[in-house]
Structure formats: structure tokens, C-alpha cells
Amino acid sequence: MDGHVNGTVVLKQGRAKPALQRHPWVFSGAIERIEGAPTDGDIVDVRDAGNNWLARGYLNRQSQIVVRLLTWHQDQAIDADFWRRRLAQAVSGRHRLAGDPSTTAYRLVHAESDYLPGLVVDRYGDWLAVQFLTQGVERWRAEIVSALVSLVTPKGVYERSDVDVREREGLPQRRGLVWGEEPPEHIEIVENGHRLPVDIREGQKTGAYLDQRENRARLAPFCLGADVLDAFSYTGAFAVAAAAAGAERVTLVDSSGPALDLARRAMALNGYQRADYVEGDVFSVLRKYRAERRTFNVIVVDPPKLAASSREVERASRAYKDVNLLAFQLLQPGGILFTTSCSGAVSADLFQKIIFGAALDAGREAQIVGWLSQGSDHPVALTFPEGLYLKGLICRAL
Ligand code: SAH
């Protein structure tokens, strides 16, 4: 690939501030005109209305985000060496995790927040799972894969670009081995010292919810002797953490049968034979528990992204409130609600208000005893506050 600059995007008068402040996105509404004949995926320069050079990035007119910016240095070329250096920077930011034998899976590249817009790379032991989310990084896939291979020497690189956002970019979904050896059906990773089987071919996201790793460690101190409910358990990573921390009883609820099958394997791998696996809708299962007066000491509520955009915030807020209200009603006095939201469109502030409303309507006094966020391998660039998406609270109900 050659990365010569193939056009210039000129911004409207008064619309240069985000680019000047190094925000990586140029929206269509900020653009006056595009000069030259660039094709989508090409490298373009961005200039302000007075023709001053601002930044350089890659173009896609099919997206609302027409340019994703890569550099603010006019003499920096976007070539194979550029990608290699950016990747090396992201990899070196994880050197502490890389040297920690109690965790073998973590995010290596967190897209915009690692100054690599559109690119996600997760490490699962000897395999890498990659997502090329935009035309701009799709163009450089060969260079990116080869740089990753030389930087981390994996056994194989598996692509999981089977996500809807690719279609908004005008790209087909894609999945499969891109380099090296096929991964086994289940890669066994270690997280906080616990063994977890991960299916990077068929699993959700790139196989696991790595962003919750530090939160799983935060759950442990509440679990000794506890009756724990893991709602939206997926493959049971919270349940394993709870069992390892001495939970008396663990109940997992998820709507996905395959996820629960993997959860059974995960528990068995760590030597925990007894747990209850409930396949079903969390909202109905929790209502049934309420009717049966079943209670718990600790409840983890980790729903999927309920608001995909700001338009869905109101509906999502009602769902977050409903499920957390039910959870408060099922908690024993002194019980712990460990609740999260991975919807970027729901702010930490709003989430706290939702949890307040849920406690109030459940008739429970509750205190916040901890704040949760995404792990350090999912950083947030200060120039890109949108990178913060996971938030949560640890609440004690009286
Ligand atoms: N806690 C998990 C991640 C949860 S992701 C972990 O730490 O790995 C959200 C999960 O919710 C997915 O496994 C999905 O299958 C499940 N899910 C989505 N909607 C659901 C519903 N209404 N009832 C039960 N499970 C649901």
C-alpha cells in the first residue's frame, strides 16, 4: 500500500476547533468541500476555511464520520512504518499485562483511544482477534497484520469483522483466519488466575468481555459464603470469579444456550462442579424469583449494550431501571448490587440517576460503595471522551 495524500477536505468557517483539539473525527456537517478525486479509504489532508493545514487522516464519504484523523504533523507520512510505530506504541502500553502470568487475555489495540481509529485487536493467549471496522484500516490490513505478527509473535491471527458497523462503512462483514494457525475450538485463557475457555470464532464480540476483567477482581471480596446471582452471565467469567472467592452458591442466567455451555466448562476447569445454569430472559427470571421470594447476597447485572445511540437512551434507561429495580428487590439486607452499563450513550451521571430511581421504586435504601469502569487495557484518550463506554456501581442495599 502506498499512503500518498489523495485529496484535501476543506472545513467550513468556524468548524476547525475539534480538529485543532485533536479530536479524531471530522463529521460530514463540518465539511465545505473535498478537493481532488480521492476514493473512500484514501489518505487526505484536512484544512480550515483559510486553507491552513490541520491534520491528515483517511476518508469515507459513506460514513457520517467522513475523515478519521491519524496525524497532526504535516511531515508525517501514512505508510507501513506509520502503522507499525502506532501498533508498537499500543503494544508497549500493555507491557505490564504482557508480563503478568495471571492474565493472558487483554485488549492490545483500542481503536481511536490508541490513536488507531477503526482498529481493535484483542489478545487471547497465543492468538490475536482483530476487527477492521472502517474502509481506512481495511486498506492497510496486510501491513497491520504483518506488524502485529512481528510485534507479538502469535500462533495465529483471526479476523472478527463480522459486525454491523462494517455495513455503515460500505464493507461486507468478514470472519476467518488471516495469518498462521487456526485457533482451537476453545482457547484456554487465564484471567486473574482463573482458567476460561474462549471461542474466538463464534463467541460474542471477539470471544470475551475483556473490558470487565478488573471489575471481576473487584467482585471477589463480596463473595465469601455468599449466594450469588450472575445475571447476563455470558460464559460465566463473573461466576467463576465469585466461586473462586468462596461463594456458597452461584446462579447464572443468560438467554444464550451456547454461552451457558461454555460457562459450565469454565466452572469445571476451575474445579467448581456446583452451580445453577438458567437459560432464559433475565427480566422474566428475576420476576419469577421475586414471586418465589428467592433472595441473594450478591447480584451482578451486566446487560448487553441497551442503547446503541443517543436516540435509544430513553428506552434503554427504562430497561436499566427495570432490571436493577428487580435486583434491588431480590437482595437480602446488606446485599451487594454490582451493576454496569456498556452503552456509551448512557453517561455515568445518568446511570447513577437510573440506579437511584430503581432503589427508590424498590423501596430500598442503598449506598454506593464502589465505582466501576473499563479496564486499563481499554484506555480513553483525553482527546476522545467518546472512548469511555463502560460504567458501573457497586451498591450496598440496607
Ligand atoms: N457478564 C458477561 C458479559 C455479558 S454480555 C461477562 O462478564 O462475560 C450480555 C449477555 O446478555 C450476553 O451473553 C447475552 O446472551 C445476554 N442477554 C442479552 N439479552 C438477554 C436477556 N434479555 N436475558 C438474558 N440474557 C440476555
| Angle subtended at Cα 119 by Cα 42 and Cα 114, rounded to the nearest 5 degrees | 105
Q: Tens of pLDDT along 226-264?
A: 999 999 999 999 999 999 999 999 999 999 999 999 999
Q: Are 298 and 330 within 8 A, CB to CB?
A: no
Ligand 1 touching residue 134 (CB < 6 A): no
C-beta 209 within 6 A of ligand 1 = yes
312: Cβ contacts below 8 Å, ≥ 6 apart: 306, 345
Q: How far apart are CA 393 and CA 377, in angstroms?
A: 20
Give the pLDDT confidence of 36-59 residue by residue, as tens digits.
999 999 999 999 999 999 999 999
pTM, whole model, 2 decimals?
0.97
Residues in the chain: 398
* Catalytic residue status for 342: yes
DSSP 183: P
Tens of pLDDT, residue by residue over 355-382, are 999 999 999 999 999 999 999 999 999 9
Taking the CB of residue 274, how many other CB atoms lie within 10 A of it?
9
- Alpha-carbon distances of 393 from 137, 217, 226, 270, 338, rounded to whole Å: 35, 14, 19, 27, 6
Tell me if 281 CB under 6 Å of ligand 1: yes
Residue 1 has pLDDT above 80, yes or no: no
3-state percent breakdown (helix, strand, coil) of the chain, nearest 5: 35, 30, 35
Of 254, 256, 301, 318, best ligand 1 pocket probe by most atoms within 8 Å of the beta carbon: 254
Mean pLDDT of 389-396: 98
Ligand 1 centroid to Cα of residue 234, in Å, is 5
pLDDT at 288 over 90: yes
Q: What is the pLDDT of residue 273?
A: 86
The pLDDT of residue 25: 98
Ligand 1 centroid distance, CA of 341 (Å): 12
In the reported structure, the alpha carbon of residue 129 is separated from the centroid of ligand 1 by a whole-number distance in angstroms of 21
**Alpha carbon distance 383, 398 (integer Å):** 40
Q: Which atom of ligand 1 is least distant from the CA of 234?
A: 13
CA distances, 255 to each of 213, 258, 282 (Å): 22, 9, 8
Q: Which residues contact 193 (CB under 8 A, 6 or more apart)?
A: 102, 244
Instruction: Report pLDDT digits (tens) over 60-118.
Output: 999 999 999 999 999 999 999 999 999 999 999 999 999 999 999 999 999 999 999 99
**Closest residue by CA, ligand 1 atom 10:** 232
Mean confidence (pLDDT) of the chain: 97
* Catalytically annotated residue among 342, 350, 355, 359: 342
| pLDDT for the residue numbered 136 | 97
Residue 159 parent element (H or E):
strand 156-161
Give me the pLDDT at residue 320, please.
Answer: 98
Distance in angstroms (rounded) separating the CA atoms of residues 45 and 6: 8
Q: Is the pLDDT of residue 289 over 90?
A: yes
Pick 23 or 168 by higher pLDDT.
Answer: 23
Which pLDDT score, from 0 to 100, does residue 3 have? Answer: 75
Rg (CA), the chain: 23
Q: What separation in Å is there between the alpha carbon of 318 and the centre of ligand 1? A: 17
> Residue 151 is placed in which grid cell?
510485534
Q: Residue 176: what pLDDT?
A: 98
